[in-house]
Amino acid sequence: MNRISRLTALIGMVACALCAFAAPASAIPPEATTGSATEIKDTKATLSGTINPQGKPTNYRFEYGPTTSYGFNAPVQPGNAGEGTTSVSVSKPLTGLTPATTYHYRIIALGEGGTVPGLDKTFTTAATDPAAALGGMATTEPFDGSSTSLANFSARWASLGWATAKGEDTATGWRASAEYPSVSGAYLNQTLTDAGQGLGVSTTMAATPAGEGRYISLWLDMSNPSAASRAGYELRLAAEAGGNYKASLVLWAGGSCNHARYSELGCAGSR
Amino acid sequence: MRAWTNTGSGFKTLLSVSNSALSSGKTGIEAAGNIARLTKFKAGALLTPVANNSESLAALTLRDAFLTPQSPLSGGGAWGALAWDNSPDGHNTGQVYTTGWGPANPAPTVNGAYWQKAAFADTGAGTAVSAIPMVPPGATRSFSLWLDMPSPGSLKSGYEARFVDNGSGQFYETTISKWQAGVKTAVGAASILAAPTTRFAFVDKGSSLTIWLAQEASYFQVASVTDSAFNSGYAGIEASGNVVRLRDFRAGPLAPF
In this complex, is the C-beta atom of B18 within 8 Å of any C-beta atom belonging to chain A?
no
Q: Select from A73, A140, A248 the Cβ nearest to the Cβ of B42.
A: A140
> Mean pLDDT over residues A194-203, rounded?
92
Q: What are phi and psi of B167, to 5 degrees?
A: 110, -20
Residues 81-120 of B with CB under 8 A from A: 117-120
Q: Per-residue pLDDT for A68 more than 90?
A: yes
Chain B residue nearest residue A265, CA to CA: B14
Give the model's pLDDT for residue A196. 82
Report CB contact under 8 Å: B217, A188: no
Query: What is the ipTM metric for this complex?
Result: 0.90
Give the model's pLDDT for residue A247. 87
Could you give the angle at the alpha carbon of B93 between the alpha carbons of B88 and B99, nearest 5°?
A: 110
Report CB contact under 8 Å: A138, B5: no
Report CB contact under 8 Å: B30, A184: yes
Residues 146-165 of B with CB under 8 A from A: none
> Mean pLDDT over residues B150-155, rounded?
97
Give the model's pLDDT for residue B175. 96
In this complex, is the C-beta atom of B9 within 8 Å of any C-beta atom belonging to chain A?
no
**Cα gap A219→B29, rounded to integer Å:** 6
Alpha carbon distance, N-terminus to C-terminus of chain B: 25
Per-residue pLDDT band for A236 (boundaries 50, 70, 90) equals very high
Are the CB atoms for B192 and B162 separated by under 8 Å? no
Q: Per-residue pLDDT for A261 more than 80?
A: no
Per-residue model confidence as pLDDT tens digits over A10-55: 333 333 333 333 444 557 999 999 999 999 999 999 999 999 999 9
Q: Per-residue pLDDT for A91 more than 60?
A: yes
Are the CB atoms for B203 and B161 separated by under 8 Å? no
Query: Please, what is the average pLDDT of chain B?
Result: 95
User: How many interchain CB pairs under 8 A, A with B?
Assistant: 351
Report CB contact under 8 Å: B31, A130: no
Please tell me whether the peptide bond between B108 and the residue prior to it is cis, using omega within 30 degrees of 0. Answer: yes
Give the model's pLDDT for residue A26. 58
CB atoms within 10 A of CB B243: 19
Are the CB atoms for B164 and B177 separated by under 8 Å? no
Could you give the angle at the alpha carbon of B119 between the alpha carbons of B117 and B124, nearest 5°?
A: 140
Measured between beta carbons, the chain A residues lying within 8 angstroms of B130 are none
**Cα gap B69→B52, rounded to integer Å:** 35
Q: Per-residue pLDDT for A150 more than 70?
A: yes
Give the model's pLDDT for residue A263. 53
What's the DSSP call for residue A165?
A: B
Report CB contact under 8 Å: B256, A218: no
C-alpha distance from A183 to closest chain B C-alpha (Å): 5
In this complex, is the C-beta atom of B232 within 8 Å of any C-beta atom belonging to chain A?
yes
Per-residue model confidence as pLDDT tens digits over B212-227: 999 877 899 999 999 9
Tell me the three state secondary structure of residue B124: coil
Are the CB atoms for B112 and B73 separated by under 8 Å? no
Helix H or strand E encompassing A130: helix A130-136
Measured between beta carbons, the chain B residues lying within 8 angstroms of A178 are 34
**Cα gap A171→A150, rounded to integer Å:** 10
Per-residue pLDDT band for A76 (boundaries 50, 70, 90) equals confident
Give the model's pLDDT for residue A9. 34
* B201: β partners: B130, B212
Q: Which has more confidence, A203 or A76?
A: A203
Q: Per-residue pLDDT for A270 more than 60?
A: no
Q: Per-residue pLDDT for A66 more than 60?
A: yes
Which residues fall within 8 angstroms of residue A19, CB to CB, at 6 or more apart? none
**Cα gap B129→A53, rounded to integer Å:** 37
Instruction: Give the range among A167-171, A246-250, B111-115 with minimum mean pLDDT.
Output: A246-250
Give the model's pLDDT for residue A259. 58
Chain B residue nearest residue A162, CA to CA: B30
| Sequence-ordered strand ranges (E) for chain B | 2-5, 12-16, 24-32, 37-45, 62-64, 79-81, 95-97, 100-102, 110-115, 120-121, 127-135, 142-149, 158-165, 171-180, 183-193, 199-205, 208-214, 219-226, 232-240, 245-253
> Which residue of A216, A237, A259 to mutate against B (max B Cβ within 10 Å)?
A216
DSSP notation for A56-94? S-EEEEEEEESSTT--EEEEEEEEE--S-SS-EEEEEEE
Report CB contact under 8 Å: A209, B7: no
CB atoms within 10 A of CB B124: 20
Q: Select from A73, A176, A187 the Cβ nearest to the Cβ of B27.
A: A187
> Mean pLDDT over residues B164-170, rounded?
92
* B250: β partners: B62, B130
Per-residue pLDDT band for A260 (boundaries 50, 70, 90) equals low
CA dihedral angle for residue B60, residue B64, residue B66, residue B69, rounded to 10 degrees: 170
Q: Which has more confidence, A202 or A265?
A: A202
pTM recorded for the entire structure: 0.89
> Mean pLDDT over residues A208-222, rounded?
92
> Mean pLDDT over residues B236-253, rounded?
96
> Mean pLDDT over residues A115-129, rounded?
96
**Cα gap B25→B204, rounded to integer Å:** 21
* CATH 3.40.630.30 at B53-253, yes or no: no
Domain extent listing, chain B: 53-253
Please write down the HEC assignment for all residues of B9-64.
CCCEEEEECCCCCCCEEEEEEEEECCCCEEEEEEEEECCCCCCCHHHHHHCCCEEE
Report CB contact under 8 Å: B65, A136: no
Per-residue pLDDT band for B14 (boundaries 50, 70, 90) equals confident
Give the model's pLDDT for residue A271. 33
Chain-centroid distance of CA B12 in Å reads 33
Report CB contact under 8 Å: B34, A180: yes
> Which residue of A98, A141, A264 to mutate against B (max B Cβ within 10 Å)?
A141
Q: Select from B5, B23, B62 the Cβ nearest to the Cβ of A221.
A: B23
Q: Which range has the top average pLDDT, A244-248, A249-253, B101-105?
A: B101-105
Give the model's pLDDT for residue A262. 55
Give the model's pLDDT for residue A240. 86
Report CB contact under 8 Å: A132, B59: no
C-alpha distance from A13 to closest chain B C-alpha (Å): 39
Query: Please, what is the average pLDDT of chain A?
Result: 86
Report CB contact under 8 Å: B197, A142: no
